[in-house]
Structure 1
Amino acid sequence: MVSFKSILTLAVAATTASAFPSPKLPGCGEVDIIFTGLPPYHPLVAQQGFNSSAVDAGLRADAADIIKAGYNLRVVLMGPEQDISVLVNQTNGIRWDGTGVGYGVRGSRREDLTIRLGDIIQVFHERAPRAPTVFDYSFTTALWAIQTKFPLSSNCTNSPGKDLV
């Protein structure tokens, strides 16, 4: 037997679902991400205990996987000795959907990298104010970080993203 309360509950649930449709997920090549971190052969990479060759291979593979997965990507690798204007200039011309900061900068216990992290966050806040910032947990997990925040509507194997060099 169906009660009036059950019918009313179903009607309210159906009305609510149609009043608040789930947001449409972006498609292949529709999400622009800018990611920054240390260059793999920067002295601070080795000083933090990382193998520069492994970091280089991991960053390259991860960037290729991000593009293959359907995201448009610009990578800006720079050390703290470079002026932050390098990153500022790389934000020009694109409305960024997401930003990212690598673990080599974020996980450091060095004062200069802590200051640089603050500068990076400030640049992203000013230049891409609505873009969330994602954080990887190693030099091979940027794709994971991006996918957790920006799932795509379909498999993009046949429609990769772009390298926004």
Structure 2
Amino acid sequence: MKKIRTSSVWKKVWKFCDFSIFFFKKWLSFMKGRSHFLITAVCRREVIRMELSPKQKQQVQMKFDSYCKKTIKGEVKHYWRELTRQKSKESLFSELTRQELEQLYSMDDYCFDRSYFQVMGKAVEVNDLQIAEAFQKLSEKKREILLMLYFLDMTENEIASYLHLVQ
């Protein structure tokens, strides 16, 4: 490949041609070939390749290194900003006071530890298993009276009139 003075070629390219330079990461594109750097410029229909001098190679490498360092520093700053933003909005459970924890506290209530009894066409829910077992052992009439009295909040007169009993 014939060595060309890059400055004169660039002047010609800039002056006479519509051209595009391929950029590598927003900087001057360089293609690292077998053992040398080439800058490729597309000028209308022909491709012009220019071999860079050692000084120009070093300049391109330094510009690229500088770009990489700036990009990495920018990403690190962005990461730290995002981290501090998250920390300002989030708090750890270990940092919460007891009152704040109690506000967040919730308990799941599953229906397999409940018992249901039918009284007056209504389903009465009993949450305590021991009470539910005790109700199971009672006769149906006694169970109905206790459920009406304690769970349906009926008075003795209302229960007696419903069951047609004397108080």
Question: What is the TM-score normalised by the length of structure 2?
Answer: 0.19
Judging by fraction of residues, say which structure has more strand.
Answer: 2
Bigger-Rg structure (1/2): 2
Judging by fraction of residues, say which structure has more helix.
Answer: 2
